[in-house]
Structure 1
Amino acid sequence: MFDIAQQCSEAGTTLMHAQLAALRAYTQAMLDGGLLCAERQADVYRSTLATGTVAARQILWAPVDSKR
C-alpha cells in the first residue's frame, strides 16, 4: 500500500508530464504555423517580384514614340 506522500509525488509527476506534453504540442503547432506564414510570405514576395520584373521589362523595351 502507498502512503499519501508517495501518491502525491506520483500524481505530481504525472501532472507535470501531461503539462510538458501539452506545452510541446502547443509549441510545435506554433512553429508549424509560423513556418506556414513564412512560406506564404515568400510566395507573395516571389510573385510580386516576378510581376514587377515583367512590368519593368515591358517598360524598358516599349517602343518609343518619335512624334513627341
Structure 2
Amino acid sequence: MRRVLGKAVDLKTLDGVLELSWHADQLRRLGAGLEPDLLRGRLVTTVSRVRRNGRTSFRRERGA
C-alpha cells in the first residue's frame, strides 16, 4: 500500500502528520482519564483525525 500511496503523496510528510496525530490522540485519552492505547494503528489514527478536523485535516496551509 505504501508503494502506491508514495506515488501520490510525500510519505515522509504523511508519516510525520500521522505520528503527531497519534501522540495527540494519546494525550486526549490521558486527559479523559483513560490509559494510552499503544496498539492504535495508522488507520484508526487517520480516521480519528479526519473525524475531528474534517476534510481540511491534510491541507498544506495553516489556519482556516
**Fold shared, TM-score > 0.5 on shorter chain:** no
Shorter-chain TM range is 0.3 to 0.5
Q: Which has the larger radius of gyration?
A: 1
TM-score by length of 2: 0.38
Of Structure 1 and Structure 2, the greater helix share is in 1
